Structure 1
Amino acid sequence: MGPEDRAFLEETARALDASMRELEQEAERLTEIVGEERAQELHAFLRREFEPVDIEEIRRTLDFDDRRLISVWIRLERNRARRVAAGRSAMALNAGREDIDITAFDKPKKK
């Protein structure tokens, strides 16, 4: 890969870092609004730690701020995964190992 590819990866990493900082600030702001206890409940809801009946009950009680907080967490998780992929790609490039298939690292984990 050439210098353009390296520059692209670096710019992507910087953009993802900035985006994650903004999302983390937004998550903190929304956590203050909904309260720590509700945020913990929503985090458990997102991880599907409740029984299906309880999940449905929580889903019915979600308000705008709850939904917004969940959305921010999902975007943060997605951006972190992309940042990891960009970092691995940069490491492979910096090691001079263009023979490494970096797409193998991008496979999502099965839950």
Structure 2
Amino acid sequence: MGPEDRDFIEEAARALDASLRELAEEEERLKEVIGEERVRELAAYLRREFEPVDIEEIRRTLDFDDRRLISVWIRVERNRARRVAAGRSAMTLNAGREDIDITAFDKPKKK
């Protein structure tokens, strides 16, 4: 990888860091609007801790803020994974070890 690749990875990492900060602020704002009890319920809904019939009932009652918070949580998870990948790439480049396959460190998705 050349210097432009290194620059790209570093810029991607900075953009992801900024995005994660913005998402954290949005998450806190939404949590205040929604309330602690509903936030716990939405977190359990997202982790699919309810029976299918209860999940469907919750899905029907989701309002805009509920959906927005769930969306923020999903984006945070995705951006964190991307940030980890960028960090691994940067560490590989900084170590001068282009022979290292960083994909070997990726964890499989839980289903």
Whether the aligned pair in 2 keeps the contact of 1:85 and 1:105 (CA below 8 Å) is: no
Partner deviation per Cα, 1:41-96 (whole Å, 9 max, x = no partner):
10110111111111111101100100010001101110000000000111111111
**Alpha-carbon deviation of 1:102?**
2.0
Structure 1 outlier segments of 4+, above 6 Å: none
Aligned alpha-carbon RMSD (Å): 1.2
What letter corresponds to residue 68 of structure 1 in structure 2? R
Distance in 2 separating the partners of 1:50 and 1:97: 46
Unaligned runs of 5+ in 2: none
TM-score, normalization by structure 2 = 0.94
TM-score, normalization by structure 1 = 0.94
**Alpha-carbon deviation of 1:107?**
5.5
What letter corresponds to residue 85 of structure 1 in structure 2? A
What letter corresponds to residue 69 of structure 1 in structure 2? L
Distance in 1 separating the partners of 2:67 and 2:105: 30
Aligned residues: 111
Identity of aligned residues (%): 86
Do residues 14 (structure 1) and 14 (structure 2) align?
A: yes
Distance in 1 separating the partners of 2:37 and 2:43: 10
